């Protein structure tokens, strides 16, 4: 019989899928690392597993304890899965820009969700960072993984994502592209790929216009899960060779094209990363192998990126990608 003991055993080893229409006419091979194949539906399953295991070993997380974390959803799902398996409770703190669909997913896995305003500074008492700190003080047996400062976050990518990419491309990868949120993905994967290739692999971050990584101040943007208004310690400033800023409009346009033209129903930060990969591919040659990491699936964004009314309300909908047009008979 072929089975695993628990879905948590399926974290990692996600497939590489070639991009076709999106990079039509461009020289390099462009591959997507499709992280929605993780059991919780995102790249964050990787960090959840490693952070919990490390906290159990260090004694920070004790049997029957509660995991408290500010999360835009994906880290919460990963933590909730691991928590279920090991008998912990979960309380997650989300900014209000996170879609209700995503919050309901966390509740479905059995977590409690606390919602905080997006439009306040990180030092404000109602910011989602401060609310989670207060909950950690108030709940007995609480442990905060703190994905923004936990070295196990980049370490999970150093030990899983990086080696997987090297093996899957048989060492032929020349460029790695990923969006930057906590910076864990790009820092851990990038560190491994630089080490194993003797510095040959180039690491390219994709960042929402306005975020600190591409020189902004944290100006608001709509794409979820990426960009910051501060510099987390999980981001290693020595790893990225280049950061490409991408507008919300381009992020969402490419997100919709990934679904319509590549069969990949993925989230807005995936479109952002893929937009950066396309920009990079224009400057690369036929021997180059670009891998772009797509962090999550698109089902959590059906009422936003994939909703024509929402898109139009921000002026994002271009006529080419608007779904059915007036002339269509469906």
b/e per residue 281-297 (b: at least 16 CB within 10 A):
beebeeebbbbbbbbbb
Residue range at the interface with ligand PMP (CB under 6 A); choices 13-21, 168-176, 223-231, 251-259: 223-231
Residue range at the interface with ligand PMP (CB under 6 A); choices 93-101, 178-186, 237-245, 257-265: 178-186
Residue 28 vs 183, nearer CB to ligand PMP? 183
Select which of 33, 44, 89, 202 is catalytic. Answer: 44
Residue 48 vs 281, nearer CB to ligand PMP? 48
Contact between 267 and 297 under an 8 Å Cβ cutoff? The reply is yes
Please confirm, yes or no, whether 44 is among the known catalytic residues: yes
N-terminal to C-terminal alpha carbon distance within the chain? 45
Cβ neighbour number for residue 131 with a 10 Å cutoff: 20
226 contacts ligand PMP (rule: CB under 6 A) = yes
Sign of CA dihedral 1, 35, 160, 5: negative
CB of 176 to ligand PMP, least distance (A): 13
- The tokens describing 106, both together, are 């966390």
267 contacts ligand PMP (rule: CB under 6 A) = yes
179 contacts ligand PMP (rule: CB under 6 A) = yes
Cβ neighbour number for residue 59 with a 10 Å cutoff: 7
Pairing of strands 89-95, 66-70: parallel
CB of 252 to ligand PMP, least distance (A): 13
DSSP reduced 3-state for 228? coil
72 contacts ligand PMP (rule: CB under 6 A) = yes
- The tokens describing 128, both together, are 């989602």
208 contacts ligand PMP (rule: CB under 6 A) = no
Contact between 110 and 104 under an 8 Å Cβ cutoff? The reply is no
CB of 74 to ligand PMP, least distance (A): 4
CB of 2 to ligand PMP, least distance (A): 31
- The tokens describing 261, both together, are 């033209």
Q: Rounded to the nearest 5°, which phi and psi values hold at 79?
A: -65, -40
CB of 283 to ligand PMP, least distance (A): 23
Residue range at the interface with ligand PMP (CB under 6 A); choices 92-100, 176-184, 306-314, 322-330: 176-184
Q: Rounded to the nearest 5°, which phi and psi values hold at 218?
A: 100, 15
Binding-residue total with ligand PMP (CB under 6 A)? 16
183 contacts ligand PMP (rule: CB under 6 A) = yes
Residue range at the interface with ligand PMP (CB under 6 A); choices 126-134, 135-143, 220-228, 256-264: 220-228
Residue 65 vs 95, nearer CB to ligand PMP? 95
Residues 65 and 61: their CA atoms lie apart, in Å, by: 6
Instruction: Figure out which of the listed residues 208, 209, 296, 297 binds ligand PMP, where binding follows CB under 6 A.
Output: 296
DSSP reduced 3-state for 222? coil
Residues 269 and 179: their CA atoms lie apart, in Å, by: 7
Per-residue x/- track, 134-173, ligand PMP (CB under 6 A) = ----------------------------------------
Sign of CA dihedral 232, 237, 239, 245: positive
Instruction: Figure out which of the listed residues 269, 276, 288, 305 binds ligand PMP, where binding follows CB under 6 A.
Output: 269
Crossing angle, helix 74-86 and helix 44-58, to 10 degrees? 50
182 contacts ligand PMP (rule: CB under 6 A) = yes
Residue 29 vs 44, nearer CB to ligand PMP? 44
Catalytic residues: 44
- Footprint of ligand PMP on this chain (CB under 6 A)? 72, 74, 179-185, 224-226, 267, 269, 295-296
């Amino acid at each position: 019989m072929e089975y695993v003991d628990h879905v948590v055993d399926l974290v990692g080893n996600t497939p590489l899928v070639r991009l076709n229409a999106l990079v039509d006419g461009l020289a390099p091979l462009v591959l997507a690392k499709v992280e929605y194949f993780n059991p919780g539906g995102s790249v964050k399953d990787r960090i959840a597993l490693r952070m919990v295991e490390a906290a159990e070993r260090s004694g920070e997380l004790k049997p029957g304890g509660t995991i408290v974390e500010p999360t835009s959803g994906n880290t919460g799902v990963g933590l909730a899965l691991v928590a279920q398996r090991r008998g912990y409770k979960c309380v997650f703190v989300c900014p209000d820009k996170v879609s209700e669909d995503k919050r309901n997913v966390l509740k479905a896995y059995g977590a409690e969700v606390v919602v905080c305003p997006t439009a306040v500074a990180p030092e404000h008492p109602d910011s989602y960072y401060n609310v989670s700190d207060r909950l950690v003080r108030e709940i007995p047996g609480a442990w905060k993984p703190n994905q923004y400062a936990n070295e196990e976050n980049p370490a999970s990518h150093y030990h899983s994502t990086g080696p997987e990419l090297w093996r899957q491309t048989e060492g032929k990868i020349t460029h790695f592209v990923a969006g930057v949120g906590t910076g864990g993905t790009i820092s851990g994967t990038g560190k491994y790929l630089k080490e194993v290739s003797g510095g040959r692999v180039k690491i390219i971050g994709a960042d929402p216009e306005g975020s600190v990584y591409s020189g902004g101040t944290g100006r608001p943007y709509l794409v979820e899960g990426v960009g910051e208004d501060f510099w987390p310690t999980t981001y290693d400033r020595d790893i990225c060779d280049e950061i490409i800023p991408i507008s919300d409009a381009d992020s969402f346009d490419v997100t919709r094209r990934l679904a319509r033209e590549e069969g990949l129903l993925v989230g807005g930060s995936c479109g952002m990363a893929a937009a950066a990969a396309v920009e990079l591919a224009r400057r690369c040659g036929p021997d180059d192998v670009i891998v772009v990491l797509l962090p999550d699936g698109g089902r959590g964004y059906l009422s936003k990126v994939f909703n024509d009314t929402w898109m139009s309300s921000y002026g994002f909908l271009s006529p080419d990608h608007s779904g059915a047009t007036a002339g269509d008979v469906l």
